[in-house]
Structure 1
């Protein structure tokens, strides 16, 4: 059954660790997490199809929209095109409502349990991780860009994007949509999948590691890029479990994606690259390691489930 334990005045922490939150409902059954995944997957497919249909209908009246959608769905999709980028990121954003409704309808528990052991986003925990991630990304990216053979695309931003206007529009799309897209991926992979696996397998290592292959498959990169994506997924899963919520992982994902796509918008990186330069991999891994170790130290222990209770659930 669901138990809450008082920690200090005005605050309660759920007795279940984050990856076991699917078991927090009184009428938990082993098949509910499976039903949750199937419901979420069906909703995501349905919402994506609906979004495509809506955009095609709009495109019938606004040809530019139709062109962007057609190109975004083709093998020649260009992430330097604001319209295509907005459409592709927007479809990923649909993971958020799909996961939330899947948990609500299939798992019969509040969608907030996907966010943290407190059943909500702990907003006051965002500022310090955000500052840390931004600082680490700037430092590691600056050093990486200075490496020989890793200077980014030649020709500058205008050569890559077709004009200064596109640069500003790209940056607007990145800043407006990427935070939602990154949070939606965390909602699905570190929220939904971790808790589904954790409902069946008690040890957190299973919940952290088993979703990694699916996350890697969702990113079409070469071997070096896949190693980087896998390391990212492991780091995000570990800090999610360790901090009892998605906040730190969302910050990591947002800063990483905004940084990479932002660099691409101004011509310092290629957002269409199918792999990561081998020389850049150590810097990316250092960024993940430093952020993970530091952010865990900063999160207040009171936000975590009591170890003596959580360990038995």
Structure 2
């Protein structure tokens, strides 16, 4: 009887060690009082110092691409209709809002509105997930809050407009509806595009620029005030009009920081622009006039000041959070080797 041959021991292999993963460093305000609106970029997937520059350049590239597409489509339509070609030539010479021509109004408002999708796409690509943080600290556009702010802006604007009609002014009038056969088409274009156009400007000047500056400079005053000159230069008014635009920009920036989102600024911008266009469509004033005057400046200042006061009162009653507190992720522990039988 033979004894069985001894079976050699099965060699064991170890699983590769899992290295320690250090948590991403966060600024002190992210884990204490919370990130204010202009600092929300630190809550995104990528928040390096270079990301605001990359987002801006990519937004510009997308915007130019969108403009090229619109230009090509418009030129094709213009060759099909000779009258449109003449309107395009007139617009290149004097790019003003002619409320008797809904086609030109849609082109001018639409090209501004294209800034919004360009910025959203660029931010999604560069900064990654949680793109809703470009709207508010809640990670989304707070629609109920924006509708509440819109209602407040509408009430204040209607009251001030009614009072201003009692005061005679030398403001230039626009074409009355009786002499504008396309006023209904222009009205539809305004109601559809002005909200998007106004929101696009807010996402650019109070959204992108405030969060870009907040990535490099912590104090909110820098994020609120530094974009103001750029916003003023984008509006071709006289000195009174430029002062009014500057007041608007400061108020919109402060409201965005104070409430933790763009909703209050968007509501004011939409109501202000719609009011001007609708008054012009009704023949009550020229929204494209560059000479604003002292009365227009005072009316704008009262509207903005009253709106800021009402929004502050509403915000305090809402108990709505305005910052985002982050937690430091726990490091992944090292995994010990696990014996694996080898066949």
TM-score (structure 2 length as normaliser): 0.80
User: Runs of 4+ in structure 1 displaced over 4 angstroms?
Assistant: none
1:290 to 288, 293, 306: 306
Partner SS for 1:22 = helix
Deviations 1:170-207 (CA, angstroms, capped at 9, x unpaired)? 21111111011111111111111110011111011111
Q: Over alpha carbons, which structure has the higher Rg?
A: 2
C-alpha distance in 2 between matches for 1:90 and 1:154: 22
1:214 aligns with 2:243: no
d(CA) in 1 for partners of 2:113 and 2:133? 19
**C-alpha distance in structure 2 between counterparts of 1:166 and 1:131, whole Å:** 29
RMSD value over aligned CA atoms?
2.2
1:92 aligned counterpart, secondary structure: helix
Q: 1:175 corresponds to which residue?
A: 191
Paired residues for 1:121-270 under 5 Å: 121-150=141-170, 152-153=172-173, 156-158=176-178, 162-163=179-180, 165-270=181-286
Q: Which has the higher helix share?
A: 1
Task: For residue 285 of structure 1, report the CA deviation from its aligned partner.
Answer: 0.3
Aligned CA distance change for structure 1 residues 66 and 119 (closer, same or farther; 3 Å): farther
CA 112–289 in structure 1, closer or farther in 2 if over 3 Å, else same: same
Report the counterpart of residue 8 of structure 1 in structure 2: none
- Which of 81, 102, 105 matches 2:125? 105
The 3-state SS of whatever aligns with 1:29 is coil
Structure 1 position 217, deviation (Å): 1.2
**In structure 2, distance between residues paired with 1:16 and 1:41:** 27
Encode CA deviations 1:257-293: one digit per residue, 9 max, x unaligned: 1100000011101022012121221111010011012
Give, in angstroms, the shift of residue 121 of structure 1: 0.7
Cα distance, 1:2 vs structure 2 = 9.1
| Aligned mates of 1:220, 1:229 — CA distance in 2 | 10
For structure 1, which segment, 100-109 or 285-294, has the greater mean C-alpha deviation from structure 2 after superposition? 100-109
CA shift for structure 1 position 23:
1.6
Mapped partners of 2:116, 2:25: distance in 1: 25
Q: Which residue is equivalent to 1:95?
A: 115
SS at match of 2:320: helix
| Matched pairs, number | 294
- CA deviations on 1:120-140 (whole Å, 9 max, x unpaired) are 111111232111101111122
1:71–1:77 contact (8 Å) kept in structure 2: no
Aligned with 2:76: secondary structure? helix
Partner of 2:50: 31
Moved more, 149-158 or 108-117: 149-158
In structure 2, runs of 5+ residues without a counterpart are 1-23, 27-32, 327-343
Q: Following the alignment from structure 2 to structure 1, what is the Cα–Cα distance between the partners of residues 167 and 258?
A: 34
2:235 aligned counterpart, secondary structure: coil
Q: Given that residues 51 and 126 in structure 2 are in contact (C-alpha distance below 8 angstroms), is that contact kept between their aligned partners in structure 1?
A: yes
- Could you tell me how far apart the structure 2 residues matched to 1:115 and 1:25 are? 13
Matched position secondary structure for 1:207: helix
Q: 2:320 matched to which residue of 1? A: 302
